[in-house]
Amino acid sequence: MKKNSKNIYKEIEDFFLEEPDAEGKAWDMIHDFYHLVLTEMEKKGIRQVDLAKKLNISPAAVSKLLNKTPNISLRKMVELADSVGLDLVITPVRKDMYKTKPKSMMVAEDKAKYGKE
């Protein structure tokens, strides 16, 4: 049975309006963090091999860290941020004070050059 496009649109809209669970929130924060790090690397011309030297790990470990590590530790996040000249700040807020709008992240990702080469 073919679904009505209005119903599909409503399902998608409802999905994005749902409050994410703890895992979803963590993934969003990690995704935002990686986006900032990769953008800063691009701006400053920092290559993965340069990052490996700063972090005292292999280039392969940097590649894995940036591409395949969704469950990064807070300590590793601080080290990674420091290595590209960023400070990591975590600020808890009341749930009713701040809502992330998915569309704003999509626009930011579209403008980024990394990952498109």
Structurally, the chain folds into a number of domains equal to 1
Residue 5 lies in a domain: no
Give me the numbers of helices (H) and strands (E) for the chain, helices first please: 6, 0
The predicted model scores a pTM of 0.63
Residue 2 lies in a domain: no
Once rounded to an integer, what is the mean pLDDT over residues 76-96? 87
Residue 15 lies in a domain: no
Residue 13 lies in a domain: no
The CATH number that applies at residue 41 is 1.10.260.40
Q: What is the DSSP secondary structure assignment for residue 89, as one 8-state letter?
A: -
Residue 10 lies in a domain: no
Please give the radius of gyration of the chain, using alpha carbons only, rounded to the nearest integer. 17
Beta strands in the chain (DSSP E): none
Euclidean distance between CA atoms 36 and 81, whole angstroms: 9
Residue 11 lies in a domain: no
Residue 69 lies in a domain: yes
Long-range CB pairs of 100-107 (<8 Å, 24+ gap) are 100/28, 102/16, 105/31, 105/32, 105/35
Reported as a single tens digit per residue, the pLDDT across 15-71 is: 777 777 888 888 888 888 999 999 999 999 999 999 999 999 999 998 888 886 667
The range of the structural domain enclosing residue 107 comes to 21-111
